[in-house]
Every structure is written in structure tokens, then in C-alpha cells.
Amino acid sequence: MITKNTTDQVDVLIIGAGPAGLMMAAWMSACGIKTRIVDKRGTKIFNGQADGLQCRTLEIFDSFGFGHRAWRDANHMLEICLWNPNSEGVIQRSDRIADTIPGISHFQQCVLHQGRIERYFLDTISKSGISVERGVMPTKMEFDESLAEEADAYPITITLRHLSEEEATPKQSATSANGAGIEDGLFRSNMAADDTEDIIRKAELNNKANTVEVVKAKYVLGADGAHSWVRNQLGFKLEGESTDYIWGVLDIIPITDFPDIRMRCAIHSASSGSVMVIPRENKLVRLYIQLTTTNAEGGQKFDRSQITPEYILASAQKIMAPYKITYRYCDWWTAYQIGQRVGTNFSTRERIFLAGDAVHTHSPKAGQGMNVSMQDVKAYNLGWKVASVVKGQSDRSILKTYQSERRRIAQDLIDFDHRFSRLFSGRPAKDVMDEEGISMAEFKSAFEKGNLFASGTAVNYGKSIIVVKEGDAAEQGDGSDVATKDKSLQISSKESLATKLTIGMRIPSFKVLNQADARPWQFQELLKSNGTWRVIVFAGNLGSPRQAEKLATIGKSLGGHESFVRRFGPKPNKNETVFEILGVHAGRRQKTTIFDFPEIFRTFDERDGWDYSKILVDDESYHEGHGHLYDNYGIDPEEGCVVVLRPDQYISYIGPVDDYESLDKFFSSFMIVQADP
């Protein structure tokens, strides 16, 4: 064994390079934080592993600059067909619904191989020199709690072991009779035993090829899966139950006379169970079959080894009869037990965090048949907060909002999952008198509700130090107290100034034009994930002297020497932006120029001249119509408002255009002074 004597220091150490770890790495890369990311697996891309991409996930990808790649490569799903038994017990199409509720996002749900998604992330993080170190696993972790609140300390010490290629490569297909030859996902399914100890033991026996090194970190993220080593070290548990349901998943190129095979379908048969059909890229189709583990008559446990590709297909054939379905090509298959569990604690002292499956596992059909990965969205919530604290811009208090915001969402999702699972697995009711059966109307309504849930756009974070809204912070979150402590800095929002925006939700996107060059943009395209806070002044109709005056007033305050923009802005000579000040007016584009806006909206650079990118207008474009941004946000052009967006595009605050005071108090409650006024 070779022991490195040097001790490496990093700001952030990420353990696990799945969706959650990569999402965290993307933030660190975008914010220029010194980061390492390690994964015990030596190989990366596995067959199968398809992910449903929710609208919100695509919006997030877009904010990191690769949304267009995912959108182009993915299989788009436009319609869901519900199939149910008719009065003779024969399945028929009973409903069609839009797969994504029209109007909620400029993206729609689609499905894509995880390997592709991983590629985009790897390309993105490589731009700042971060790459995944594979075959590297932690074997020891020490945390000096006495240093937890010292901003610049490195309180965590982790020992990393570099494995040999053989040790790090999991077996990918079953050698037994079960589906021999076809790659399966059983080794990483939650039905597989935890192999961490095994790997460590083997590596110790064979310790010649190993290098061991010690890393000191300010922050650690455990994104190391359902069997999380980091979670076990911390002694935290997942709470919740695993149910008696096992899902079988089969990826095939189907040969079938079923007419809706390229649509997302939920098929309930009269008495043979249910199947979910997910059309994928390259003519692949994923079939999800739910199998009850307990045999209803005998009460005997279902034998798991019975689950094979043939078994899953045979079940689909029974459910889909009289239609025929078979295949010549099977790409992948797996089986897993449904368990919806959420972590009791998402971090220890806001220094060592957990994300992804390490803190929340749920069944794959929260996306109603897709493995809609909300895992990554959790890390998306965390990344910018950690970056901002590491950079010394924000106080550590904002880190508490990670657990309060995401644990709540995890619990809501689990509640929903439970209800949906029962409806999906149940036998359809024969008629209204059949109380044991499931009402198909109820199923449809749950499906529609689930669709909104699965889009990710309905997430609404509770009141906290970074979300200014009415109510009780503990009640709206996970019970912890995350409100502003300093009474003198408490402010309130005026949500009535933007009736269709909700504080705590992400800002929806509509078309808006650049004032200087008339180019239309989706508003969200302008809100890149790079760590900046956005103060958006919706100045309204500048033809009105009252609005023009309010704009001048706020511009003067924001641009002033004492302004929070300056106090909390970057240190002189630091090439960073903490705030981006955007102006969106509702006057006529052709009657306005950028010089009608105060200088803070169009900063001047000796070499580069004026900034033309921050002044926008809600007006008709030449080729892409009118976005009606003010209408869609419910903002009165004769009143306007100011909206503060967090770096993750969630709305923190809405207030009057000329209320500079509240903005100043808001940022003062958690930001750290950088420059003396």
C-alpha cells in the first residue's frame, strides 16, 4: 500500500458521481469553487438507467448551458393514454391527456439515457478542470465539530483509497439462470446487498495497488446512493417503509400491434395487473410491471428469483391481451422493491450534507412510470448556498434552508407516491358498487395531479431567511426554524404587485425582448446558474411620468455609494458578480432607449463600453410574437414591482419599485460586507 504524505485541501469534496453528485459539481464549477468528486465505481455508463426529465430539470440543465443538448437528444413524450377494461373486461383506450400540462414550462417532459445526461455534466464541469475520480472511495471520516461555525476552517478529514480497476468494477449481469447474458441493473437495485464493506475488504487483502490519501475539506456532500457510506458514518437513518410491491423493468424494442406503443400509457387490465409503457429513444420502450410480493391466496412470499425478462414479458402479454407484444432485442432489465424513505437528517452541523438516494428513495413511478430524478434537484437547491458561503458572500445561516426546503418536498412526494401506488396497483372497479376496486376516474385525477408534481414546477419553498413570505417558517418547512432572527431586518413582501407569481416558487418563463437589439429571449434563458442574485426591476410603462420617476429613484439608490450592491458586492479587483440588476419595462420598445434607464442597469466599462444585456422590454417581436410577460406575471404596467430571485431562480421577495429600504434589509439579513462604502 502506498500512502501519500501530502494532505490535500479542498473547499468541497463530493462523494458519489451519480445525478446528485454531478449536479453539485456543476454548481461548484459554475461558481469557481475548489472541488473534488470521487466515486467508488470504476465504470460509469450502464445500460438501462433511463431518466424521465421533468420540465424543471430541463430548465435547470438550460441554466447550466446544456438544456438544448438534452432537449435534442431525448425522446419527447407528448401524450399519455389511459387504457382500462370495458364492460366485457377487454382493455380499451379510455382517455388521452397531455403529458406536460400546457403552459407550465417552455420545456416538456421527456426521457433520456442517464449516460447522455452524465456526459453533459462531465463536459460542463471539465471546463473548470473538475473531473470525476473513479475507483476512489472514502474509508474514514473525522469531523471536528468545534470548528463547524468557523467560516474558513476545514473541519472534515477524509481518508480516500484508490482502488484497482478490478476492485472497482461491479458485475453487471447475472451469471445464474436469471436472464443470462442480458445486462441487468440488479447489482445497483435496492434489492442488491450493500457491497461497500466487501469492496473495502477485498481492497485490503489486495492492498498493493492501492494508494491512500488524506483530504481536508470545508464541506462534504454524501451523494453515494441508497446504501450511503457517508450517511452510515453519521449514524443517520432513512425513515419510511418498504412496501410489498416489486417493480419489474424491461427495456426492449417491442414488436406489437398495440397502437399506442409510442405514447406513455398506463394500462389497467381487468384482473392481470397493470403495466406502464414509456417510449424511449432509438425505438426502445420501457415496460414497468408492478408485482405484488405476497401471493394473495396463500399469503406466501413471492420468490424474487422468479423475476426474469421472460417473466416480465409474460406479465405484460397478459395485461395487454388481446394485443400481442414480444421482442427480439432486450437492452436491459431490472427489478426493485418499492420503498419510500426519507432521511431523518440532511446534514450534520451544515458541514456534511447528504443528497440523492442517500437521503431520499422513492419508487420509480412518482413520475408515473419514469424514474423522474428529483434527486438532482435536491443538490441543485444546495449547491449555490454552499458556494456562496465558501466565497464568503453569505452567512452560514442560509445552509439550514437546505433541509427545511427539501425534506418537506421529499415528504410530500412520498405521500403522493403512496396514494398513487395504491391506485396503480389496484384492480379496476367493475362498476360503482365495486368498492374493492379502484375508480378509474380517481386514477385519472391522481395521474393529472401527479403530472404537475412530476413536472417539478409546483415546488413552493416555505418562509425563511431567503424567502420573504407570510406565515410560519417552521410549519412551511420541515419544522426547523429558518426565519430571520434580527427583528430590525424583518420585511414583508407585497405579492399583490405580481398576482401570478408566487414567492417561494421558481419564476416561470415567457418571451421578452432585449431593448438594445430587439432580440427575443425566453426570460429564463437570461437567468444562468452561476451564483448571482438577481434584482429585477419591473419598471412598468415608462411613458408614465410616475413610473419614470420611480425608476430614477430606485436606480439612484441601487447605484449609490452606500447601496447593498456595493457593500455586499465583490471586493475591489475581484472578478465576480454577486448581483445582477435587470430592468424590464412595459412601454413601447421603439419609443425607449437604454439611456432612459439609470446607469446601474447598463454599467460602463472602459474597454467594453455600456452593458446592453440587462434592459428588457415586454413588447411585440418581429418573428416570435408577444410574450405578454407583464400579463403572465400579473404585474400592472402602471405600478410595476421589484422581484428578487435567488441564484436558483426561486422568488425571494416581491415589493414596490421604489422601496429600496426593504431590499437593503433583505440582503443585510444574511450577506457579508465585502467593501467599505
Kindly compute the dihedral angle of the four CA atoms of residues 260, 261, 264, 268, in this order, to the nearest 10 degrees: 80
CB of 189 to ligand NAG, least distance (A): 6
In angstroms, the CA 514 to CA 529 distance is 20
3 state SS for 509-546: CCEEEECCCCCEEEHHHHCCCCCCEEEEEEEECCCCHH
Part in contact with ligand NAG (CB under 6 A); list of ranges 52-60, 424-432, 485-493, 525-533:
525-533
Part in contact with ligand NAG (CB under 6 A); list of ranges 271-279, 308-316, 512-520, 522-530:
522-530
Part in contact with ligand NAG (CB under 6 A); list of ranges 143-151, 464-472, 529-537, 555-563:
529-537
In angstroms, the CA 120 to CA 425 distance is 36
Decide: is 580 part of the binding site for ligand NAG (CB under 6 A). Answer: yes
As to burial, measured by CB atoms within 10 angstroms (0-12 exposed, 13-18 middle, 19+ buried), residue 594 is: middle
In angstroms, the CA 654 to CA 663 distance is 10
Part in contact with ligand NAG (CB under 6 A); list of ranges 237-245, 292-300, 341-349, 406-414:
341-349
Decide: is 532 part of the binding site for ligand NAG (CB under 6 A). Answer: yes
In angstroms, the CA 283 to CA 528 distance is 34
Decide: is 290 part of the binding site for ligand NAG (CB under 6 A). Answer: no
Which of 290, 348, 464, 668 is in the footprint of ligand NAG by CB under 6 A? 348
CB of 578 to ligand NAG, least distance (A): 8
Part in contact with ligand NAG (CB under 6 A); list of ranges 81-89, 136-144, 340-348, 631-639:
340-348
Which of 371, 451, 522, 674 is in the footprint of ligand NAG by CB under 6 A? 371
Q: Are 463 and 469 in contact (CB under 8 A)?
A: yes
Decide: is 669 part of the binding site for ligand NAG (CB under 6 A). Answer: no
CA angle in degrees (0–180, nearest 5) for 366-371-377: 85
Which of 113, 188, 444, 511 is in the footprint of ligand NAG by CB under 6 A? 188
How far does CA 160 lie from the centroid of its chain? Answer: 28
Mark whether 288 is an active-site residue: yes
Query: Which 3 state secondary structure label does DSSP give 67?
Result: helix
Decide: is 522 part of the binding site for ligand NAG (CB under 6 A). Answer: no
CB of 528 to ligand NAG, least distance (A): 4
Q: Which residue has the cell 392481470?
A: 272
CA angle in degrees (0–180, nearest 5) for 138-30-351: 40
In angstroms, the CA 64 to CA 21 distance is 15
In angstroms, the CA 232 to CA 18 distance is 18
Decide: is 18 part of the binding site for ligand NAG (CB under 6 A). Answer: yes
Q: Which residue has the cell 447489482?
A: 187
Which of 49, 109, 455, 522 is in the footprint of ligand NAG by CB under 6 A? 49
In angstroms, the CA 507 to CA 42 distance is 39
Please identify, using beta-carbon distances, which residue of 260 and 580 lies nearer to ligand NAG. Answer: 580
Part in contact with ligand NAG (CB under 6 A); list of ranges 36-44, 127-135, 158-166, 526-534:
526-534
CB of 16 to ligand NAG, least distance (A): 10
Mark whether 280 is an active-site residue: yes
Question: In the beta sheet, which residues pair with residue 334?
Answer: 249
C-alpha cell at 407: 425534506
Please identify, using beta-carbon distances, which residue of 391 and 463 lies nearer to ligand NAG. Answer: 391
114-126 and 19-31 are packed helices; what angle lies between their axes, rounded to 10 degrees?
20
Cis peptide before 570 (omega within 30 of 0): no
Decide: is 345 part of the binding site for ligand NAG (CB under 6 A). Answer: yes
CB of 588 to ligand NAG, least distance (A): 26
In angstroms, the CA 567 to CA 560 distance is 10
Helix H or strand E encompassing 452: helix 440-455
User: Is the torsion defined by CA of 608, 673, 379, 141 positive or negative?
Assistant: positive
CB of 225 to ligand NAG, least distance (A): 7
Catalytic residue among 56, 264, 280, 406: 280
Catalytic residue among 19, 254, 364, 647: 364
Decide: is 530 part of the binding site for ligand NAG (CB under 6 A). Answer: yes
Site string for ligand NAG, 142-181 (x = CB under 6 A): ----------------------------------------
Part in contact with ligand NAG (CB under 6 A); list of ranges 64-72, 215-223, 344-352, 598-606:
344-352
Residue type, 219: Y
Q: Are 346 and 255 in contact (CB under 8 A)?
A: no
Please identify, using beta-carbon distances, which residue of 94 and 613 lies nearer to ligand NAG. Answer: 613
In sequence order, what DSSP letters do the residues of 636-675 get, joined into one string?
Answer: -TTT-EEEEE-TTSBEEEEE-TT-HHHHHHHHHTTB---S
Question: In the beta sheet, which residues pair with residue 630?
Answer: none
Query: Which 3 state secondary structure label does DSSP give 133?
Result: strand
CB of 575 to ligand NAG, least distance (A): 4
Question: In the beta sheet, which residues pair with residue 294?
Answer: 301
Decide: is 665 part of the binding site for ligand NAG (CB under 6 A). Answer: no
Q: Which of 493, 522, 496, 515 is nearest to 636 (CA)?
A: 496
Which of 79, 576, 599, 631 is in the footprint of ligand NAG by CB under 6 A? 576
CB of 314 to ligand NAG, least distance (A): 20
Site string for ligand NAG, 219-258 (x = CB under 6 A): ------------------------------x---------
CB of 371 to ligand NAG, least distance (A): 4
Decide: is 575 part of the binding site for ligand NAG (CB under 6 A). Answer: yes
Which of 63, 84, 109, 375 is in the footprint of ligand NAG by CB under 6 A? 375
Which positions are annotated as active-site residues? Answer: 51, 280, 288, 364
Residues at the interface with ligand NAG (CB under 6 A): 18-19, 48-50, 185, 188, 249, 334, 344-345, 348, 357, 364, 371, 373, 375, 526, 528, 530-532, 575-577, 580
